[in-house]
Amino acid sequence: MPRFVLELIRRLRFFLRGHRFEAELREEMDAHFTMLAEDTDPVYAKRRLGNVTRWQEISREVWVWNWMDRFWQDLRYGIRQLTLSPVFALVAILSLALGIGANTAIFQLLDAVRLRSLPVPDPQQLAEVRIANGNGGIFVSAGDNPQTTNPLWEQFREHQQAFLGVFAWGTDTFRLGKGIDAHNVHGLWASGSLFPVLGISPVRGRLLDIRDDRHGCGASAAVISYGLWQREFGGLDSVIGSSLRIQDHSFDVIGVTPPGFSGLEVGTGFDVALPICSLATLQSSNASFGRRDIWWLTVMGRLKPGWTLERASAHLNATSPGLFGATIPTGYQASTLERYRKFRLAAYPAGRGVSPLRETFDTSLWLLLGITGLVLLIACANLANLILARASTRQHEISVRLALGASRPRLIQQLLSESLLLALVGTLLGIYLARVLSRAIIWFVSTKDNVLQLELGLNWRVLLFTASVAVLTCVIFGLMPALRSSRAEPSSAMKAGSRGMTAGRERFSFQRLLVASQIAISLLLLFNALLFVRSFRKLMTFNPGFREQGILLLETDIRNFAMSSHMSPSRLKPLQRDLLDEIRAMPQVQSAAMSTHVPLNGSSWTLGFYLDDVRGSSKFTWASTQYFETMEIPILSGRDFNDRDSESSPRVALVNETFVRDYCGGTNPIGKVIRSVAEPHYPAAAYEIIGVVRDTKYANLREAIPPQVFANTQQFPSDGPWGPIFIRTSAPMSSMISAVKQKVGQAHPAMQMDFRVFQAQIYDRLVLERLMAALSGFFGALATVLAIVGLYGVISYIVIRRSTEIGIRAALGANWGQILRMVMSEAGLLLLIGVVIGAVLSLVAGRAANSLLFGLKSYDPLTLGMAVGLVAAIGAVASFVPARRASRVDPMVALRYE
């Protein structure tokens, strides 16, 4: 160990047993004295030893750093000063804690979503393999982050050379258990190599390996997460070897993953992992397992030593033609397949996992971090102002001390120690607040279907961030006032303190600057908040073309139900019809319909078609009779589906206005025939257009309305279709749910049912917008309150400092209106400067929010006007109060004041 470390350890040891040190030294002196007295005589000994206390002090100083001792002294002084003005201390600590807590909370989220590495050995070696520039949306994509098909993955696995090991995974929802206990859990399809390549060891049993992932493995092995093990198996060892029922197949639990591992997708987590080979058994013949056109897997690998991402990408680029050439899907057009052949794989960093969250939350979280940073800045400015005001009342004391020869650095150190104390307490409280706040935010953005699972630890990155924020705040609100107030010339300050008529203008200029910038920043934040609130309101009140209120969605497992009861496929459509009829017969139900597409839930179904030799593509939805009635979508011309449209009658369809505009040149389309292009599993079919419906929003509110074709469920050209039942009712949703449960449960006891309230589902998808509106609104309000407190404080302070001058003016005949005007014009100037700068800032900085806004632009003049009006109005009120007080000053009192 280096010498200074040993020395430090000795110093620390001394620090810990300081009280014994004194006693030992005293005893040593006594022994010395006794021996000396015995050898000579007591009188001589006493004279010679002299001032024993002084030696003890010198001996002690050997061990203690001087600055440390002085620091303690200053700290004690600081505590004494703060306890003398508890209100100031409380305001300071609370506003710091709020500011630092908010910053830490947002940073914690940012860290969890964006910065943290996966909890596996050497995460930086991990790379994701996907098609450069994406697959362009061709074929069918499943899940949030799909990159390859299973055949492509198998080809890649056999032919790659860039990686030590590769693995693939896909996410899914598994139905766990049977009967009424059945519930959905997060599923993970894992290749056998996933756990070995990641290097994860089980806490119980063993994890999946390549032996478990062979073609034809059937339903065999399952691995469960630590969370599920604790939740549903009570953390018992007996879980290993027990059987797990998933979608009516029985799996053996072979192991439990460690608690830190929650899958590779940030924020989602997983409950059960199955080998990919089991998919063939779990899904019907239509399974994505062998399909070359369903993108549902994400492929990752661990790079070989010495291989960079660039080198791996070059290798992948070279091998891509062979891989794609060997996995060409059948049944597609030549032009589509030509695009497929041209795909090239590339490697991307994946040490932090993949995250659809990252894309959606990224901008929002950085923006929020910016907002909370500005709030903290305003809080700091307020504190600086408060401290300056306090320091100026101590100006006399400081001048005296300077005059007596106190060094400036020593004074600054002392003034700073008080700020340091505030920052320290504020930071500790802030860390606590951050825990509460970040959990609240997660709770806020978690919906019924998507509970966000994020590890929110206080890791070194978060602590480092908070510490630097704290130091920065301390410097901003502590150092500047300390520097300023210690600069006073002893003579002039003492004079001003004793006999000041008007405090010089420049004495307040720093405070004015602070207040003007506070107003500017608070205007910016308020503007921002109003933007988000208005954008959210627009989303909430936006008319999507249908009426989402009063609709209950019923999802059944009719597909599995039909399969497990070995129904012939031809029985399915009648069964669906019966189910609909049963529901329609209920007295509370106004209408009910089935559809393959739930609007605004993000999903999409596109088919290519020919219309009079014009090639086009459109969204296709299969809907039953009463669909337009249930959704309250008006039919503009032609007719609705009716019961005469059956499997045997000619296929019919309705189209939306956009379709008519895009493909029929605005002419009447009724009677024209849409011929859909064949895709595997969906044979070509011809649909006669029988009506036009009003445009409605499709997958999400932000998109432009696409052309849409509505065909009849009874005329679906293949197996199926599958989709939820839309029930329109005016009854309360909870009673409706139990009524449907009872009715359908009687007719089909084995059928599983899931209910969703359509409107709630749409709102759940607006969670990010709601979060931004709520948080930016909260912070905007907080910023405004802080800035107004600052303005009020400074105006009051100026009024008090100038009370002598005001008294003289009043004595000389100024009426109260003139004095009011004088003070108000001073405040007005500050407000004006602040508002002008703030407006410019708002227009410049607002652009960061542009991509998150709906229905208005970041330079929205109305919103800016509202923000300016609000700040100006509140500011005027806040300065009117002290101005009025000034105008009521009794000249006699003011003049006698000093």
In the complex, least distance from residue 30 CB atom to another protein, rounded to whole angstroms: 10
- Backbone φ and ψ for 516, nearest 5 degrees, come out as -60, -40
What is the Cα–Cα distance from 152 to 893, expressed in whole angstroms? 90
Nearer to another protein, 10 or 183 (CB): 10
Nearer to another protein, 58 or 334 (CB): 58
Nearer to another protein, 47 or 505 (CB): 47
Nearer to another protein, 24 or 647 (CB): 24
Nearer to another protein, 45 or 843 (CB): 45
What is the Cα–Cα distance from 629 to 860, expressed in whole angstroms? 38
In the complex, least distance from residue 9 CB atom to another protein, rounded to whole angstroms: 10
Binding residues for another protein, rule: CB under 8 A, are 3, 6-7, 10-11, 14, 24-25, 27-29, 31-32, 34-36, 39, 47-51, 54-55, 58-59, 61-63
In the complex, least distance from residue 374 CB atom to another protein, rounded to whole angstroms: 49
Q: Cα-Cα-Cα-Cα dihedral of 553, 558, 559, 565, to 10°? A: 170
In the complex, least distance from residue 82 CB atom to another protein, rounded to whole angstroms: 35
Nearer to another protein, 25 or 326 (CB): 25
DSSP per-residue codes, 364-383: HHHHHHHHHHHHHHHHHHHH
Among 516, 545, 715, which residue's Cα sits nearest to residue 623?
A: 715
In the complex, least distance from residue 382 CB atom to another protein, rounded to whole angstroms: 46
Nearer to another protein, 21 or 605 (CB): 21
DSSP 707: P
Side by side, the strands of the sheet bearing 725-729 are: 589-594, 725-729, 551-556, 753-757
Residue 197 has, within 13 A of its CA and on its CB side, a CA count of: 25
Asked if residues 202 and 255 have their Cβ atoms less than 8 Å apart, the reply is yes
In the complex, least distance from residue 16 CB atom to another protein, rounded to whole angstroms: 15
Mapped onto helix, strand or coil, the DSSP state of residue 894 is helix
Asked if residues 636 and 605 have their Cβ atoms less than 8 Å apart, the reply is no
Nearer to another protein, 62 or 404 (CB): 62
In the complex, least distance from residue 71 CB atom to another protein, rounded to whole angstroms: 20
Q: What residues contact 326, with CB distance under 8 A and at least 6 apart?
A: 155
Asked if residues 688 and 651 have their Cβ atoms less than 8 Å apart, the reply is yes
Nearer to another protein, 27 or 898 (CB): 27
Specify whether the backbone of 137 is left (phi greater than 0), alpha (psi in -120 to 50) or beta.
Answer: left
What is the Cα–Cα distance from 270 to 258, expressed in whole angstroms? 12
In the complex, least distance from residue 43 CB atom to another protein, rounded to whole angstroms: 14
In the complex, least distance from residue 23 CB atom to another protein, rounded to whole angstroms: 11
Burial (0-12, 13-18, 19+ Cβ within 10 Å), 884: middle
What is the Cα–Cα distance from 301 to 66, expressed in whole angstroms? 57
In the complex, least distance from residue 5 CB atom to another protein, rounded to whole angstroms: 11
Nearer to another protein, 10 or 215 (CB): 10
DSSP per-residue codes, 513-542: HHHHHHHHHHHHHHHHHHHHHHHHHHHHH-
In the complex, least distance from residue 15 CB atom to another protein, rounded to whole angstroms: 12
Nearer to another protein, 50 or 405 (CB): 50
Residue listed under structure tokens 């100037």: 829
